[in-house]
Structure 1
Amino acid sequence: MARAGARVWGAVLSLCLVQFVDVMSVTIVLTVLPRMLDDVGAGSSGRTLVATGYAMFFGGLLMLGARLGDRIGYRRCILASLAVFAAGSLLAALAESTLVLTSARCVQGAAAATAVPSALRMLTSVTGDDDRARARALAGWSAAGAAAGASGFLVGGTVAEIGGWRLIFWGLTIVAALLAALVITLTPPVAAESARTLNLTGAALLTAGVMLIVVGATLLGEPAHRGAGALLLVAAAAVLVLFALADRRSGAPLLPRAVLGLPQVRHGTAAAFFNTATTTGAATLITLYLQVSLGWSSLKSAATILPLSVLVIAGSAAAALLIARRAGEHVSALGLAFIGAGLIVPLPRPESMPLLGLGMAAAGFGLGLSSVASTSLATDVPEGPRATASGIVNTSAQLGSAIGTAALLLIASAAGELSGPAETTPVLAWTTAAIVACLAAAAFTRTRPGQPERPRRRS
């Protein structure tokens, strides 16, 4: 029994590491982006493409990735994705032009999109019918994802200070190979759920729609490209309408109405959006403020975000206990309230490292609480559609990161908060993130809990 338990937790660890690396890679280049762009001669348009390429493909292809795992098998899908991720990392490490660097980031994002849904689907299977084990595994998964997004700032800044930005991608190439070895050694094969078609038309339309949202939202934050950003968002709306029509008529819909109609899926998806919209957006805004306005180094500013990553683990552990006693919606509300409070704490003296650290710690604890609750809600469905539900909640989280970051930067730019005199504080944008988190917390407090899949009792 002990040996079987060790095998289960070895599998859980390896799958959580897949999630950690894939999500961390969204933010790992943000603190070193100016240095990267200078080295490859990227202009202002290149900046947008390099910064958003990974998120575009990660968010856009998650639903297709979920279906691909259902079709070819989850472990096989993860291993193929890690091979592609390693190839993209190697290409980025060797890049000498904007085109090659952008392409490499897009390849990495596509690989992550096909790995994450399958990893989550396997994680909920290897724990079997043990509800407590499943809750702990989901807490670990959520902690890995939440900590990864914030850790990317610190890891990228630290590695770049040690050996340059290319070392980041050399490291990711090696990490992908090590992860593949862990997955082969520690995870059991899990049979594919379905042999249905992949609905490539629907996948293409959904991917295009999500990518247009990511790029359009990013361009809105740049004064010279706001018109183009607005046009892309209008185009995104039109493409997503076409997707909805095509997906409804498909025999293998990417977004089955039976899954979308479940209250717990809707609530978990909404919570995931607000989790990342407020924390990733605020972390990006704060990082830019510390470097652009205060002149801090990338390493010093990244270290300021460290409490956010560390306290995510504590918040996730607390959430694993709370969701056994309280509705997931209410745990998400508590977490979002901590996020809002954490963003408010440093506002009186935003240049103070102690206040920033305290605020980031509170926000990190809240992110851990709400991330576990949102993932548990969205994936508390019958085993068949679980990969689809995981794709939905992860897509929402990626869109939250992109839209939240773009919205806060747009507010800061419109108010002249990041382009004014030295030590200008982005008070309006910073306060907006805090208010959104508090309003979302209030909304989830009043939300009537859904009726998730009944807990399975241990045999």
Structure 2
Amino acid sequence: MTHSASHTHHTSEHHHPPADPRRWAALALICVAQFMLILDVTVVNVALPDMAAALDLDRETLTWVVTAYTLCFGGLMLLGGRLADALGARRTLLAGLAVFTAASLVTGLAGNAAMLLGGRIAQGVGAALLSPAALSIVTTTFHDGERNKALGVWAAIGGSGAAAGVLIGGALTDGPGWQWVFFINVPIGLAVLAALPTLVPARAPQPARLDVPGALLVTAGTGSLIYGLVEAGDSGWGDSATVLPLAAAVMLYGCFAVVERASRAPLMDLRMFTRRPVLAGAFLMLIATGVLIAYFFLGSVYLQHVRGFSPLKTGLVFLPVAVATGLGAHLGSRLVGRIGSRTVAVGGMAIAAAGSVPLTRLSADSSVYAGLLPGFVVASVGLGAVFVTATTTALGMVEHHEAGLASGVVNTFHEVGGSIGVAVVSTVAATGIEGNSIGGFTNAFTVCTLAATASAVLALGLVPRGKPQMTGDPHVH
């Protein structure tokens, strides 16, 4: 960015439109919508055993119930961000919410695996439209000191929503039945759809071309990657059923890079990843989400299959985890501005690794409340801080008109991380999930511990030392 452009940009910061008095009410509703999306990443976890019994689902299908949603959510997120810029954030948000709400109804009514997975895919499409548009509205509605507060609330919703999903999923599965983990979205979605237009003003869309081939390639590449990772649990890492999808994923990602470089309006400017703050934010989001969602998946199956917990009791175990994740995000939002991104990122990952160590020593009769729960809580505090660090680090260097696309990049790695995390631990823990043996689970928790430890070390060199400048419009450094 040139000095003259920088000067123009900084000068414009002092001419914000008057603050909309409805902005905090709008933030509350937008956060409710986002909470539903994040909830649906984990709300199914506790319901998986009941779903498997009702619809005769095997381990691979159960894994896809979780990952089909996050795959489409993440894979189409970049296109959703560009649509928010091209069509207007409010219009894109409302369209996404309508699709998500309708898909939730379809998923709850599913009588077989195909309808269930189809509904989850449609939920992911709706979420990919809604989430980047929502974050774009937040970053363009709030200015100066208020923006950090608004983004802190957003990060806390993202962190705690995933954990709260397990509790809510347990209560609904034990009560009216697993279908209600999806039905619950319908009245809430309709209420938010009715109220949002009165609180969020329409803004003029930005002219933008849509890179549909790029969106399809990156989604297909991630889908192929996850298919290969899941297949390895049954076929082994050297089998062609595993190797071919993984090789196809590499090829599809390569094609995506070629298409993006040749496109006049690429979905993602790959040069963004030569900027350390964007690369660091994407990396932190990928690992933190992968570890956290993997823990919910593993913990839910372990508690119900191995320890015989009911869905509600399993959900209650995760209540302190929800609080811990939100607390970590809150602390992270305070600390990033004071001690910088690198220290918070490294510290958060180190805390996550330390909390994960007791999980590698679980036994079939060890205390859930003295081993599993404290480990989850400590790890979640660290991961919550990493979430907010990833967001503020990546968004600290984009301009006002790129808010939708930048939020799409950050959220893409959030959802892709969840998909990859669940696929990896499902494969590593395959013997534990299918045979109720403890060894598969401890192996999977060990992989998570090693991932958090390695990420803490990598963050030392990757995350910039400075403090993200999130006052005014986001800066480009």
Do both proteins adopt the same fold according to a TM-score greater than 0.5, normalized to the shorter chain?
yes
1:351-398 per-residue CA deviation (whole Å, 9 max, x = no partner) reads: 331433322221221122110010111111212222222111111121
Q: Say whether residues 1:410 and 2:410 are aligned partners.
A: no
Match of 1:78 in 2: 93
Give me the whole-angstrom Cα distance separating, in 2, the residues matched to 1:294 and 1:52. Answer: 25
Change (3 A) 1:395 1:455: closer
1:46-445 matched pairs, under 5 angstroms: 46-128=61-143, 130=144, 132-192=145-205, 194-223=206-235, 227-348=240-361, 350-380=366-396, 381-413=398-430, 416-419=431-434, 426-445=441-460
Q: 1:74 deviation in Å? A: 0.3
2:100·2:123 contact (CA, 8 Å) conserved in 1? yes
Query: Secondary structure of the equivalent of 1:308?
Result: helix
Q: 1:98 deviation in Å? A: 2.0
Q: 1:231 deviation in Å? A: 2.0
Give me the whole-angstrom Cα distance separating, in 1, the residues matched to 2:76 and 2:438. Answer: 40
Query: Secondary structure of the equivalent of 2:92?
Result: helix
What is the one-letter code of the residue matched to 1:329?
R
Quick check: 349-358 or 144-153, which moved more? 349-358
Quick check: 207-216 or 108-117, which moved more? 207-216
1:217·1:402 contact (CA, 8 Å) conserved in 2? no
Query: Secondary structure of the equivalent of 1:291?
Result: helix
Structure 2 unaligned spans of 5+: 1-17
Quick check: 176-185 or 149-158, which moved more? 176-185
2:221·2:249 contact (CA, 8 Å) conserved in 1? yes
1:268·1:377 contact (CA, 8 Å) conserved in 2? yes
2:155·2:387 contact (CA, 8 Å) conserved in 1? yes
1:220·1:406 contact (CA, 8 Å) conserved in 2? no
Query: Secondary structure of the equivalent of 1:255?
Result: coil
From 24, 41, 54, the counterpart of 2:39: 24
TM-score by length of 1: 0.91
1:11·1:126 contact (CA, 8 Å) conserved in 2? no
Q: 1:97 deviation in Å? A: 2.3
What is the one-letter code of the residue matched to 2:191?
L
1:264·1:452 contact (CA, 8 Å) conserved in 2? no
Structure 1 unaligned spans of 5+: none
1:244-289 per-residue CA deviation (whole Å, 9 max, x = no partner) reads: 1111111111111343332111000000011011121122112222
Change (3 A) 1:160 1:348: same
Q: 1:438 deviation in Å? A: 1.9
Change (3 A) 1:255 1:127: same
1:150-176 per-residue CA deviation (whole Å, 9 max, x = no partner) reads: 222221111111100112222111111
Give me the whole-angstrom Cα distance separating, in 1, the residues matched to 2:164 and 2:232. Answer: 26
Match of 2:9 in 1: none
1:98-137 per-residue CA deviation (whole Å, 9 max, x = no partner) reads: 2222111111110001111111111111112x1x211111
Query: Secondary structure of the equivalent of 1:198?
Result: coil
Q: 1:453 deviation in Å? A: 7.1
What is the one-letter code of the residue matched to 1:290?
L
Quick check: 313-322 or 228-237, which moved more? 228-237
Change (3 A) 1:5 1:199: closer
Q: 1:213 deviation in Å? A: 2.2
Q: 1:15 deviation in Å? A: 2.0
Give me the whole-angstrom Cα distance separating, in 2, the residues matched to 1:233 and 1:356. Answer: 33
Query: Secondary structure of the equivalent of 2:22?
Result: helix
Q: 1:8 deviation in Å? A: 2.2
Give me the whole-angstrom Cα distance separating, in 2, the residues matched to 1:308 and 1:369. Answer: 13
Q: 1:28 deviation in Å? A: 1.3
Query: Secondary structure of the equivalent of 2:401?
Result: coil
2:359·2:442 contact (CA, 8 Å) conserved in 1? no
Match of 2:13 in 1: none
What is the one-letter code of the residue matched to 1:80?
A
RMSD of equivalent CA atoms: 2.5
TM-score by length of 2: 0.88
Give me the whole-angstrom Cα distance separating, in 2, the residues matched to 1:451 and 1:201. Answer: 37
Give me the whole-angstrom Cα distance separating, in 2, the residues matched to 1:305 and 1:328. Answer: 28
Give me the whole-angstrom Cα distance separating, in 2, the residues matched to 1:22 and 1:74. Answer: 17
Give me the whole-angstrom Cα distance separating, in 2, the residues matched to 1:285 and 1:251. Answer: 43
Q: 1:309 deviation in Å? A: 0.9
1:267·1:329 contact (CA, 8 Å) conserved in 2? no
Match of 2:14 in 1: none
1:292·1:418 contact (CA, 8 Å) conserved in 2? yes
1:26-45 matched pairs, under 5 angstroms: 26-42=41-57
